[in-house]
Amino acid sequence: MAGISWRKELAEDAEAMARRAQTAFGEWLSLPAWDWYTTHTFKADYVSPKQADKAWYSWFNSLRLAARVGGFSPALFGPAAPFYFRVAEYQDRGTLHYHALIGGVGDIRRLSFKDLWELYGFARVEKYDPGRGANFYVGKYLTKDQGDIRFSHNLRLT
């Protein structure tokens, strides 16, 4: 019986550490000035990770181009180009699905980029509201087995 309680205590400690790590990561993700919270779903039943990345980066590079054309060029305003924090997960049907926090977009029209993703499937591009907890939602992927976390090289914490 003593072995069972020891294992249970060990499992509970591991769960508590994971919760603390997720909370700390969510707090860290509250530091950047996010503009959008996005989800990107593919309409195909299966999209390879390589195809999915190609689609997402094509979408994000279009956003970067729109920012540059719209006057948010780093050459004009320092490092004010769009930046992101993105996580991937597999849906129940086996297809990748992305969640992202995006900043540095200025006054670019969100719905244009929601519509642009429709080439691949369905997207939500919402104005980021720090009170709704999106930073903690994407932060939970820190401790998920199949969570793929990526962020842009120009992610700013101020």
What is the structure's pLDDT at 83?
93
What is the structure's pLDDT at 78?
41
Residues of the chain with pLDDT under 70: 1-4, 14, 18, 26, 71-80, 135-147, 157-158
> Six-digit token pair at 105?
């977009």
Considering only CA atoms, which of 113, 33, 31 is closest in space to residue 80? 33
CB atoms within 10 A of CB 31: 12
> Six-digit token pair at 156?
């700013």
Please state the φ and ψ torsions of residue 33, each to the nearest 5 degrees. -90, 85
Half-sphere exposure of 120 (CA within 13 A, CB side): 26
Residue-by-residue DSSP string for 20-70 = HHHHHHHHHTTSS-EEEEEEEEESSS---HHHHHHHHHHHHHHHHHHHHHT
